[in-house]
Amino acid sequence: MGNQFKSVRENVEACLAAIASMDHQLHAWETVFEDSARVKADLLDRGTKSGPLKGLIIGLKDIFEIAGRPPGNGANVKPVKIPEADATLVRLIENAGGIILGTTKLTEFCWFRPGPTRNPHNLKHTPGGSSSGSAAAVAAGMVPVAIGSQTKGSTIRPASFCGIYGFKPSFGVISSAGMTHLTRSFDHPGILARSPEDITSVFEVLAQYDRKDPSSSYLAPPQEFSSDLTIGVFDCDKQVSLSPEMSQAMKEYTRRLKEEGYRVKEIPLPDWFLSAEKIYQPIFLAEASDLLGFIVEQGDREKVGEEIRGVIEDGKKITIDSYFEALNRRNELSAQVDLLFDEFDIVMLPSTLGSAPAGLQSTCDPLMTVISSITGIPAASIPVGLDQAGMPLGIQVWARKYYDRLLLSSLKRLPAKLVPPAFFCRNTGKIN
């Protein structure tokens, strides 16, 4: 969390200046808490408050409750209930001395209808979703860290598209109490940052058991990543339509790992990889229809996007038998995925099919991230440079469920290439 600023207040002012100079084009922020951020910074500078995240400036995806302020959820239908308390995640960050600078934009209810956010590397390209604003804000240097979430690919994909680190913890390890849910089975809070050290610092504060969250879980004991550990690398070319540049990036990264002395074994993509979508869909539709239907009924249905209305209607068609059959198949899939980690300490594959395409109408296919979301294993995206069009590419890393600290340790050791976006450099010439 080191930086060049002499005070927390100076750091806050630099972040606010970056937002003021760029967000009229990037559209990463929903609300900026200028006054409260300055007050908290002054308290930290005077020593009135402290903690392990002292002075770390953080963006918050607009799906988490803040006392007196309901989340906007990227939607035109606003919650009726005004929260009386902060989401657990918000409370832990602020108790640890972190400063939440504001809320970031997202796709409607974390699903496919994009918001206005643009990619800092090229304003004509999607930043990915649903944590669009969080990823763009971090990539552009507006904040060093932002909180996102993932139900299918909403942390890993935008991290890859925006050229930063993204981390999705094991399911239940970070509390989702006070978070707007799309599903109960797949929703994970996530962390996006420009350094693995900042992700680790935030994770250690947030990884606490929470009785308010029925899915809350404990972690396995800490483990450190070393060159003695074994890395499995999926060969995806035959079964998945990767872009030529993503395919080449995987080959070059694998070669580099071998040259640096890591024990690497290339493995064919398992049959179960492509079957995950069929398992995911009935669970997602049934749960999202139930949760979103309740929210939508409180407001004006006509203000809800066509995609969300479709999810609600399709979910009503899922039978109880189909739902529980899919849950059983998910358990079987989770067992198959876990077998990988009898042989490998971590497994690597592309974060996305390629770089962020042009256009803002779609946040793109989450195929490469379904497995980690449906099984709840920890996953991360490592930035590995740019393609010929100047757009970032990311490589995804998995670890065994609850071995989050092993995965985070690997992020600090594995090679990466974080390239500041040209848009940001033109505006300020530096990254905070």
The pLDDT tens digits for 366-394 are: 899 999 999 999 999 999 999 999 999 99
pLDDT at 432: 44
Model confidence at 114: pLDDT above 60: yes
Percent of the chain topping pLDDT 70: 96
pLDDT at 123: 95
Q: Does 253 reside within a domain?
A: no
Helix segments in 130-265, DSSP class H: 132-139, 156-162, 196-206, 244-259
CATH number, domain of 79, equals 3.90.1300.10
What number is the average pLDDT over the span 254-278? 96
Model confidence at 430: pLDDT above 80: no
| pTM for the full predicted model | 0.96
Angle at 114 between CA 62 and CA 23, to 5 degrees: 60
Stretch (H or E) spanning 166: strand 165-168
Alpha-carbon span 156 to 382, nearest angstrom: 9
Q: Does 334 reside within a domain?
A: no
CB atoms within 10 A of CB 227: 11
**Per-residue pLDDT reduced to its tens digit, 408-423:** 999 999 999 998 887 6
Q: Does 282 reside within a domain?
A: no
- Provide the residue range defining the domain that includes 398: 8-225+352-427
Q: Does 238 reside within a domain?
A: no
Q: Does 318 reside within a domain?
A: no
Q: Does 41 reside within a domain?
A: yes
Indicate the average pLDDT of the chain. 94
| Structural domains counted in the chain | 1
**Strands of 188-193's sheet in order across:** 29-32, 99-104, 57-61, 145-150, 188-193, 165-168, 379-386, 392-399, 346-350, 230-235, 263-268
Alpha-carbon span 287 to 273, nearest angstrom: 22
Q: Does 174 reside within a domain?
A: yes
Stretch (H or E) spanning 274: helix 272-297
pLDDT at 394: 98
Model confidence at 49: pLDDT above 90: no
Q: Does 273 reside within a domain?
A: no
pLDDT at 402: 96
Alpha-carbon span 53 to 302, nearest angstrom: 42
Model confidence at 335: pLDDT above 60: yes
What number is the average pLDDT over the span 169-186? 97
pLDDT at 299: 63
What number is the average pLDDT over the span 262-270? 97
